[in-house]
Amino acid sequence: MASIPTILPDQKRIGMVSLGCPKALVDSERILTRLRADGYAFAEDYAGADVVLVNTCGFLDSAKEESLAAIGEAIAENGRVIVTGCMGEEADAIRAAHPSVLAVTGAHQYEQVVEAVHTHAPPSQGPFVDLIPQMGDLVDIKLTPRHYSYLKISEGCNHSCAFCIIPDLRGKLASRRIDAVLREAEKLVAAGTRELLIISQDTSAYGVDTRHEPRQWHGREVRAHMTDMARELGALRTPEGRAPWVRLHYVYPYPHVDQVIPLMAEGLLTPYLDIPFQHAAPKVLKAMKRPANEAKVLERLKSWREICPDIAIRSSFVVGFPGETEDDFRYLLDWLEEAQLDRVGAFRFEPVEGAAANALPDQVPEAIKEERYARIMEVTERISAAKLAAKVGRTLPVIIDEIGEPDEDGDIGATGRSQADAPEIDGAVYLRNVPDGLVPGDIVDAVIEDADAHDLFGAVAAPAGR
């Protein structure tokens, strides 16, 4: 008697649109990893998806508009849409704009998202469904290139900044266990990550909520504290024995941040700090409900550069905050001239529904915001150009992000980043005529030959290291 072939059910396919900051990207990775463990496959386009997830951003009104537009596009192209993320806290607004969405969940509500997917696109059932590997057996899904990874160490924030609603969206600070953080980092590096980007809402506050609870890690006790974590991350090595780059983001300048600068000087951490200063004028900082210690910060920047001359400082600033006068804005420009930050982003103040700043008096007219934005960008671009010009002639380590196609002469170019450049937000290093065999994730020594206001240009000086 002929045997009857077993027919496996088709896997349901999930589409994903991920908006917003790197913290939201990590949320998307976790959701997809969980869904893969439940037997789902993933679609590369709308047409191939049984349901589409849209991970939204709700930090600014413009971000909400972008999120609503993305939801609308997904509905138009596919029709079956589940919404999650920060704007998910405004379910009524989402359903008012798009009544046909299948479900709405809030930020980092992983279980609710998975339940919604199970409801509206039930996982395929069959005799071999139990053979699907479970979470502990899977390599996590990454939405970034293989060679760099975001490592989220906490959720939420304990600050009450007047312009921000993050605590309303993501709650108070909730730190991960230190052994869980280090285990994930170790796993990522073993799987090919050459650059770890440490993210949170407030990296400097890591562990405050758990009273810096210690855990056993490789036979020793390690505290849930930024400095202990940084030291342990600096001790990681790739399978080839190289130290990965470890880049710290969202670092508030608390006093203990001084302790990580020597680790950068020793080569254990990437000499880079992303610090959200937001402004410098004391009156504006007070209105923002942020620490007003701009003079002390300048002293500390000088001290950090004495300890680690190559340290790069990135920050962002808000112009046109309610009550900001021309004198306040000039104070900020003068402060920037003295601070000489390496990378600066600027944003025009934008009201966010639910933020305390919306009710403040003396709102700044839009035309003045635009004029101040142009002025701050002119100053910071000039500072950046001078700093990059000073690197011409130096040999710098560069991590390769992309390899180009050969030109008519057979020469191949590559795009990478120096240690002063975080992916997606900072500049790039463009290399000419790179050697055969170079791949993304390789770290090379590059001779810098030219620079503009944002990027560097050069050539490989030494063989690639992996």
pLDDT tens, per residue, the chain with 466 residues: 455 554 445 789 999 999 888 888 888 888 888 888 888 888 989 988 999 999 998 877 788 889 999 999 999 999 999 999 888 888 999 999 999 999 999 887 888 998 999 999 988 654 444 444 444 434 467 788 889 999 999 988 888 787 776 777 778 899 999 999 999 999 999 999 999 999 999 999 999 999 999 999 999 999 999 999 999 999 999 999 999 999 999 999 999 999 999 999 999 999 999 999 999 999 999 999 886 566 689 999 999 999 999 999 999 999 999 999 999 999 999 999 999 999 999 999 988 777 788 888 899 999 999 999 999 999 999 999 999 999 999 999 999 999 998 887 778 899 999 999 999 999 999 999 899 889 999 999 999 999 999 999 999 995 544 4
pLDDT of residue 136: 43
Say what the alpha-carbon torsion angle 434, 437, 439, 442 is, to the nearest 10 degrees. Answer: -80
Name the pairing type of β-strands 154-155 and 174-175: antiparallel
Q: Which of 74, 25, 72, 69 is nearest to 45 (CA)?
A: 74
Q: What is the pLDDT of residue 381?
A: 97
Position 360 scores a pLDDT of 87
CB 269 within 8 A of CB 221: no
Residue 318 corresponds to which tokens in the numbers above?
């808000």
The rounded distance, in Å, linking the Cα atoms of 127 and 59 is 45
Cβ neighbours of 190 (radius 10 Å)? 13
Strand-pair category, 103-104 with 51-56 = unpaired
Query: What pLDDT shows up at residue 436?
Result: 87
Residue 168 confidence (pLDDT): 73
* pLDDT reported for residue 427: 95
Closest CA to 122 of 36, 46, 31, 50: 50
Structure tokens at 418: 């120096």
Residue 164 annotated as binding site: yes
Any known ligand binding at 308? no
Sign of the Cα torsion 445, 450, 456, 457 reads negative
Q: Cα(389)–Cα(382) distance, rounded to whole angstroms?
A: 11
pLDDT at 128: 43
Domains of the chain by start residue, with CATH: 13-127 (3.40.50.12160), 143-389 (3.80.30.20), 395-460 (2.40.50.140)
The pLDDT of residue 126 is 47
Within 8 A by CB and 6+ apart from 89, the residues are 58, 106, 107, 168, 169
d(CA 53, CA 74): 9
pLDDT score recorded for residue 138:
43
Cα–Cα distances (Å) from 251 to 203, 420, 425, in that order, read 5, 15, 16
* pTM of the predicted structure, to 2 decimals: 0.82
CA distances from 187 to 129, 193, 230, 422 (A): 27, 9, 16, 21
CA distance 410 to 408: 6
Strand pairing category for 174-175 and 195-199 = unpaired
The encoded tokens of residue 342 equal 């390496």
Of 112, 64, 54, nearest to 85 by C-alpha is 54
Q: How far apart are CA 438 and CA 406, in angstroms?
A: 13
CA distance 436 to 415: 15
**What does the pLDDT read at residue 52?**
94
